Amino acid sequence: MVNALGIVSFTSPNIYVRGIGKYRPAAAFSYVGRYRLVDIPISNMTNSGLQKIQVYTNGDPKVLFDHIGSARHYNINNKHGHVSIIPVRADRYSQDYVSDLEAYYTNLDEIKDDVNEYVIIAPVNWIYKANFADVLQQHIDSKAGISVLIHHEDNVRNQSEYLNANIVFRKENDKDALERIETYIGQPEAGNGSKFDISLDTYIMSKDKFIKMVEEGHEYSKLYWMTDMINHLISQDKLSVNLINYDHPVFPILDLATYYRSNMAMLNEFNMTFFNDPNWPIYTRTNDSPPTIYLGEGSASGALISNGCEISGMVKGSILGRGVKVGKGALVDACVVLPGAVIGDGVYLTNVIVDKDAQIIRKKELTGFDDLPIYIDRRGII
Amino acid sequence: MDNFNMLAMILAGGRGSRLFELTNKTAKPAVYFGGKYRIIDFPLSNCANSNINVVGVLTQYEPVQLNAYAGAGQRWGLDTRGSGVYVLPPSEKDGTKFGVYQGTADAIYQNIDFIDEFNPGYVLILSGDHIYKMNYDKMLADHRRNDADLTVAVRPVPWDEAPRFGIMNCDMNNRILEFEEKPKEPKSNLASMGIYIFDWDLLRSILIEDAKNPESSHDFGNDIIPRLLNEKKRLFAYNFNGYWKDVGTIDSLWEANMDLINHNDELDLGDLQWKIYTSDIPSLPQYVSPTGRVEHCYINQGAVIRGFVKNSVLFNNVKIQEGATVVDSVLMPGVVVEEGATVNRAIVADKVIIGKNAVVGSADSEKILLVSEDVKGEN
């Protein structure tokens, strides 16, 4: 057991995945065929020994209630452990403007009642595998007010990979100290090959500190997010920040291109082995789908394919969700296909994201770019 | 539990010795089937889907795996208030000697106290080693409509095979007039499936009497059914026409697995109205590498395919390495086929490793080969 309350945070409005984001909160985005993004932080937490977890969510929470349910599938003892889902309440203004701090504020009584002494806050839109028990110990040893998990990128191939990520700026005179966290909006000088310290939006602090920050934030500005509050407190010399570097692979979900890329990244065998760790399983809700069947000329190569699929065509370098049908003579190449989609006979798809239950049966060929895939609407008939 | 409610008892004590090493360390109902299931998932899922809440699983032979597996009722959704899966091995009772279950009827007799706890109106007796999907609720409706004392599920078998089965001879209304065990000259081709619905009060009293009879073999087919017929009780047959397979031999287990690859597969495990539930294993979706090729297969999540697989059923976490070939085979969980090895017409038991360049089974062999131990590779 780890002496910490787990908090799964929601994304700020600048994280927007075109199409996919229209239908569900980021926590519910499909990931690598059979998962939803929320499975990653919850599994990290339960594997680390956290037992009490609160999932905060903006957008329509319905699908999360279905998916998380009793949370027993996350390998949690549901007597002394619990996963609660806390949808954002927006009484006065648009839900998009409710900050993470405001969401915590509305639930502060429950947070105060929790017996754990620390909180660990993790986002849904950064895919990584971290042992929070170790991270918490590092935080305690540092004696800092708050610890932030960061990832150092030494040689950024393409600065657009991190558009809208939070970047950590260190103090000029003290490279170990944080000056501010800022959303990266593509400064021209930070070209290819530049170095980034990316914040993984993962915070560790004592619960007392957390409660104080939430209450102060609420007083100060209702539009202040956690990052704003950290910057504010640093500027007033009221917060010491410990940066913990996480030097394993991380995958961001920041927009449609990174959503696509971070799914595809799992086709790389190094990444696959890293994440498919029997000692660190990623849990998800089972759908009791039967195994996948390959019929006729159906085959696959370089692909991850979930259960319940029926494959009569060719699947290449793609990721298929549960229950996808690929028709005779069809070619699915470098695509991310969400559950229940139908790719008709003889249809050729390259670099396409197909949303849930869409049917591509009329149009015979769709080709996107590898850095800008075509997106097909949920339940759309194309 | 009100009187209309039916409790199910699954006879899962059989060894299944014709499955050889597959049942050395585990009872037949726990044997793997169909890429992700175990045989007992079928009767248990049928129960869950038929709104039966309480299921007793009678175990005897090598029960460790089976007890651990069946005891976790949440796999089939049988863990709500008032429902459960209860594993019932033979137990020592006051005034009797500790004994094994003597026969199918004796197994139920020894658990009368368990059944009484729930006071059901009806008891459904099932066997734990058949692959089929069946709505027992419909069978119960039939039983009640007929005002029957016992309803026996039957299915038509080919006439030339009828002498191998227990055959029910019925009148026009499906009332059973005669039961013949393995008749030389069958009068009907309706074979008993070993699925019975009894009125509990009647079954209870008959079991108590049968237990006192030293001549009895305490078996439903040999003793209980003939006795009820003698007593002119109302016995009815319930016709079942769907997919049904006894997977009692290596060949029939292989065939039943192969049936799943057939597109017009009658069993249809993808039927959303009648899902078969099983244990949930956390693993990535199946991965076919750029060197991998699959043709006409049934493959579960967690499998990794870097070689060539054709006409085969692969369970979770099977690994087929580069240059390996697997044809017409069933590979159970965790099997590894190393580089350059060939597997043909075989069932490979769980966790077996087929070493580099090894050759296992043959395309020409009539019989299916069972591989239950690691096969050494050659360099």
User: Which chain A positions have a beta carbon within 8 Å of B260's beta carbon?
Assistant: 291, 293
What does the alpha-carbon distance between residue B362 and residue B327 come to, in Å, rounded to a whole number? 9
- Hey, are the CB atoms on B288 and A303 less than 8 Å from each other? yes
pLDDT score recorded for residue A188: 46
Element (H, E) at B347: strand B346-348
Per-residue tokens: B269? 């495990």
pLDDT score recorded for residue B94: 61
Best B33, B280, B301 residue to mutate vs chain A (most A CBs within 10 Å): B301
CB atoms under 10 Å from CB of B375, counted, come to 17
Tell me the mean pLDDT in the region A139-161. Answer: 89
Burial (Cβ within 10 Å: 0-12, 13-18, ≥19) of residue B102: middle
Contacts of residue B73, Cβ cutoff 8 Å, sequence gap at least 6: B55, B79, B83, B84, B85
pLDDT score recorded for residue B98: 58
Per-residue tokens: A379? 């339940």
Q: Are strands B313-314 and B298-299 parallel, antiparallel or unpaired?
A: parallel
pLDDT score recorded for residue B243: 94
User: Which chain A positions have a beta carbon within 8 Å of B314's beta carbon?
Assistant: 291
CA distances from B206 to B106, B112, B258 (A): 11, 12, 42
- Hey, are the CB atoms on B275 and A288 less than 8 Å from each other? yes
Q: Where are the alpha helices (DSSP H) in A94-224?
A: 100-106, 108-113, 132-142, 207-220
Q: Residue B54 pairs with which residues in a beta bridge? A: B84
Instruction: Please state, for a pLDDT cut of 90, what percent of chain A lies above it.
Output: 80
**At residue A175, does pLDDT exceed 90?**
no
Distance from CA of B128 to the nearest CA of A (A): 20
What does the alpha-carbon distance between residue B5 and residue B140 come to, in Å, rounded to a whole number? 10
Residue of chain B whose Cα is closest to the Cα of A268: B289
State whether residue B234 is helix, strand or coil: coil
Best A39, A297, A305 residue to mutate vs chain B (most B CBs within 10 Å): A305
Question: Do the Cβ atoms of A38 and A27 come closer than 8 Å?
Answer: yes
DSSP assignment, residue A24?
S
Residue of chain B whose Cα is closest to the Cα of A293: B298
Long-range contacts of B365-370 (CB under 8 A, 24+ apart): B367/B250, B367/B251, B368/B250, B368/B251, B368/B254, B369/B345, B370/B20, B370/B21, B370/B22, B370/B250, B370/B346
**At residue A357, does pLDDT exceed 60?**
yes
Per-residue tokens: A241? 């920040």
**At residue A21, does pLDDT exceed 90?**
yes
The residue type of B171 is D
Tell me the mean pLDDT in the region A47-58. Answer: 96
Question: Do the Cβ atoms of B228 and B149 come closer than 8 Å?
Answer: yes
pLDDT score recorded for residue B152: 98
The C-alpha angle with vertex B45 and arms to B119 and B121, in degrees rounded to 5, equals 15
pLDDT score recorded for residue B206: 96
Per-residue tokens: B87? 């594993």
User: Which chain A positions have a beta carbon within 8 Å of B36's beta carbon?
Assistant: 290-291, 307
pLDDT score recorded for residue A158: 74
**At residue A93, does pLDDT exceed 80?**
no
pLDDT score recorded for residue A192: 58
The per-residue pLDDT of chain A, averaged, comes to: 93
- Hey, are the CB atoms on B301 and A301 less than 8 Å from each other? no
- Hey, are the CB atoms on B282 and A290 less than 8 Å from each other? no
Contacts of residue A212, Cβ cutoff 8 Å, sequence gap at least 6: none
User: Which chain B positions have a beta carbon within 8 Å of A317's beta carbon?
Assistant: 290
- Hey, are the CB atoms on A290 and B35 less than 8 Å from each other? yes
What does the alpha-carbon distance between residue A131 and residue B155 come to, in Å, rounded to a whole number? 56
Long-range contacts of A105-112 (CB under 8 A, 24+ apart): A105/A214, A105/A215, A105/A217, A105/A218, A107/A54, A107/A56, A108/A211, A108/A214, A108/A215, A110/A54, A110/A84, A111/A5, A111/A54, A111/A207, A111/A210, A111/A211, A111/A214, A112/A211
pLDDT score recorded for residue A191: 55
- Hey, are the CB atoms on B284 and A301 less than 8 Å from each other? no
DSSP assignment, residue B48?
H
Residue of chain B whose Cα is closest to the Cα of A35: B284
Give residue-wise pLDDT tens across range A272-312: 998 889 999 999 999 999 999 999 999 999 999 999 999 99
Buried b (16+ CB within 10 A) or exposed e, B223-257: bbbeebeeeebebbbbebeebbbbbbebebbbebb
Angle between helix A39-48 and helix A132-142 axes, rounded to 10 deg: 70
Of B34, B260, B288, the CB nearest to A305: B288
pLDDT score recorded for residue B96: 60
Distance from CA of B37 to the nearest CA of A (A): 9
DSSP assignment, residue A335?
-
Note the pTM of the prediction, 2 decimals.
Answer: 0.93
State whether residue B138 is helix, strand or coil: helix
Largest CA distance in chain B: 71
Of B277, B294, B313, the CB nearest to A299: B294
The residue assigned the tokens 């020592």 is B92
Residue of chain B whose Cα is closest to the Cα of A275: B284
What does the alpha-carbon distance between residue B219 and residue A31 come to, in Å, rounded to a whole number? 53
DSSP string, B283-343: -PPEEE-TT-EEES-EE-TT-EE-SEEES-EE-TT-EE-TT-EEES-EE-TT-EE-TT-EE
pLDDT score recorded for residue A187: 60
pLDDT score recorded for residue A123: 98
pLDDT score recorded for residue A155: 75
Note down pLDDT in tens along chain B; length 379 residues.
444 689 999 999 877 788 888 888 888 999 999 999 999 999 999 999 999 999 999 988 877 888 888 888 888 888 877 789 999 988 766 656 557 888 899 999 999 999 999 999 999 999 988 999 999 999 999 999 999 999 999 999 999 999 999 999 999 999 999 999 999 999 999 999 999 999 999 999 999 999 999 999 999 999 999 999 999 999 999 999 999 998 989 999 999 999 999 867 789 999 999 999 999 889 999 999 999 999 999 999 999 999 999 999 999 999 999 999 999 999 999 999 999 999 999 999 999 999 999 999 999 999 999 999 999 998 7
pLDDT score recorded for residue B319: 98
Q: pLDDT band for position A94 (50/70/90)? A: confident
Burial (Cβ within 10 Å: 0-12, 13-18, ≥19) of residue A60: middle
Largest CA distance in chain A: 68
Tell me the mean pLDDT in the region A320-326. Answer: 98
Of B269, B283, B292, the CB nearest to A276: B283
Long-range contacts of A182-189 (CB under 8 A, 24+ apart): A182/A231, A183/A14, A183/A227, A186/A159, A186/A160
- Hey, are the CB atoms on A291 and B294 less than 8 Å from each other? no
CA distances from B356 to A374, B320, B321 (A): 43, 11, 9
